[in-house]
Amino acid sequence: MASGFFALLDDIAVLMDDVVVMSKLATKKTAGILGDDLAVNAEKASGFVSSREIPVLWAITKGSFYNKLIILPLAFLLSYYLPTLVTIILVLGALYLAFEAAEKIYEYFVPHKQETIASDEADLAPETIVEMEKAKIKSAIVTDFILSVEIVIIALGSVMGKPITTQIIVVSFIAILATVGVYGIVAAIVRMDDLGLVLVSKKNATSKWLGNLLIRALPLIIKGLAFVGTIALVMVAGGIFVHEIEQIHHLVAGLPSLVGEVLAGLVGGVIAFIVVKLVALIWRKVTAK
**Predicted pLDDT of residue 50:** 62
Is the separation of the CB atoms in 236 and 158 below 8 Å?
no
3-state secondary structure of 256: coil
Distance CA 94, CA 269 (A): 9
pTM above 0.85, yes or no: no
The pLDDT tens digits for 35-75 are 666 666 666 666 566 666 778 888 888 888 898 899 889 88
Distance CA 93, CA 219 (A): 29
Smallest CA-to-CA distance from 155 within 98, 71, 82, 234 is with 71
The pLDDT tens digits for 243-276 are 888 899 898 888 888 889 899 999 999 999 999 9
Distance of CA 260 to the CA centre of its chain: 23
**Predicted pLDDT of residue 150:** 77
User: Is pLDDT above 50 for 10?
Assistant: no
**Predicted pLDDT of residue 269:** 92
Is the separation of the CB atoms in 24 and 174 below 8 Å?
no
Is the separation of the CB atoms in 198 and 213 below 8 Å?
no
Average model confidence (pLDDT) for the chain?
76
Distance of CA 84 to the CA centre of its chain: 24
Residue 14: band (very low, low, confident or very high) from pLDDT cuts 50, 70, 90: very low
Distance CA 76, CA 71 (A): 9
The residues spanned by each domain of the chain are 22-288
Q: List Cβ neighbours of 104 (8 Å cut-off, separation of 6 or more).
A: 226, 230, 233
Distance CA 64, CA 61 (A): 5
**Predicted pLDDT of residue 117:** 41
Residue type, 64: S
The pLDDT tens digits for 113-156 are 544 443 445 555 666 667 777 887 887 787 778 778 878 887 88
